[in-house]
Amino acid sequence: MGIVTGGDLEHMRESGRIVRKALEEMKSLIAAGMSTKELEMVGRRVIEAEGAIPSFLGYNGYPAAVCVSINSEVVHGIPSTSRMISEGDLVSIDVGAFKNGFHGDAADTVVVGLADPRAMLLVRTAYEARDRGIAAARAGSTLGDVGAAIQDAVEAQGFSVVRALVGHGIGRKLHEPPQVPNFGRAGKGMKLTEGLAIAVEPMVNIGDFRVNTMDDNWTIVTADGSLSAHAEHTIVVSGSEPLILTA
């Protein structure tokens, strides 16, 4: 369980800062015609220049420093020199950084160039759902409160929330207990306590919530081929507003 206190919190802040810097650099340079590998290298350079290590590289054999997932790809897209980003693509970028013994993890989704209004609403909803989940995460509330807040925000727009993948505790390891589902019932599940570090990361589909894994054994795609958006922050629970380490 990622309970952080004192100096550990400063290390978590530092990893979170680096994750944010990498994401912003990637978002500022993303453009149609760029390969997902080129985009990965932008993020990787920032992480390494900050004296950190990409958390995902080699994690369970994952072969890249960041995940880039386009359109119906939900998460864990592997960057490739042959995968080009096109005008109108919905691109989710997921970054993790490890420094001083602690991880940070965050994801943003952007639409490249001119987007379909429904794709824009999907992206806005993913951020809104994440932020509602974060707002529900305080000492004394439960994992069910967080999941229900996320699920309500998503379903209010007629979209669906992925069930097969969840958020997670984070700290000395990228993935620690507890699992943080993006669905649930208010009042149910584990009680949150001050200092608990978690990654809150809803994956939101325009269509059905079901997903499949592609032949590369990593890329998760929507089963119905519909668009999907992903938004993630690393946070630390407190007695009042949570600390958002990747803002």
Residue whose pair of structure tokens reads 């909803």 in the numeric block: 125
The CA distances from residue 227 to 50, 88, 160, 183, 221, in Å, are: 34, 12, 11, 19, 9
Nearest residue (CB) to ligand MF3, 55 versus 141: 55
Is residue 227 at the binding interface for ligand MF3, with CB under 6 A as the rule? no
Residue nearest to ligand MF3 (CB): 62
Instruction: List, in sequence order, every residue forming a beta bridge with 212; answer none if it has no partner.
Output: 221
Nearest residue (CB) to Co ion, 167 versus 195: 167
CA 174 to chain centre: 12
Nearest residue (CB) to ligand MF3, 28 versus 60: 60
Residues 164-203 that bind ligand MF3 (CB under 6 A): 168, 199, 201
Nearest residue (CB) to ligand MF3, 86 versus 217: 217
Nearest residue (CB) to ligand MF3, 67 versus 146: 67
CA 196 to chain centre: 18
H helix and E strand count, the chain: 4, 15
- Residues with Cβ within 8 Å of 62's Cβ and at least 6 positions away in sequence, in order, are 56, 76, 78, 218
User: Cβ 132 to Co ion, closest distance in Å?
Assistant: 18
Q: If binding means CB under 6 A, how many residues of this protein chain bind ligand MF3?
A: 13
Task: Out of 8, 25, 89, 105, point to the residue binding ligand MF3 (CB under 6 A).
Answer: 105
Dig out the tokens for 65 from the structure.
């420093």
CB of 8 closer than 8 Å to CB of 102: yes
Q: Which stretch binds ligand MF3 (CB under 6 A): 52-60, 121-129, 154-162, 186-194?
A: 52-60
Is residue 67 at the binding interface for ligand MF3, with CB under 6 A as the rule? yes
Interface with ligand MF3 (CB under 6 A): 56, 59-60, 62, 67, 76, 94, 105, 107, 168, 199, 201, 232
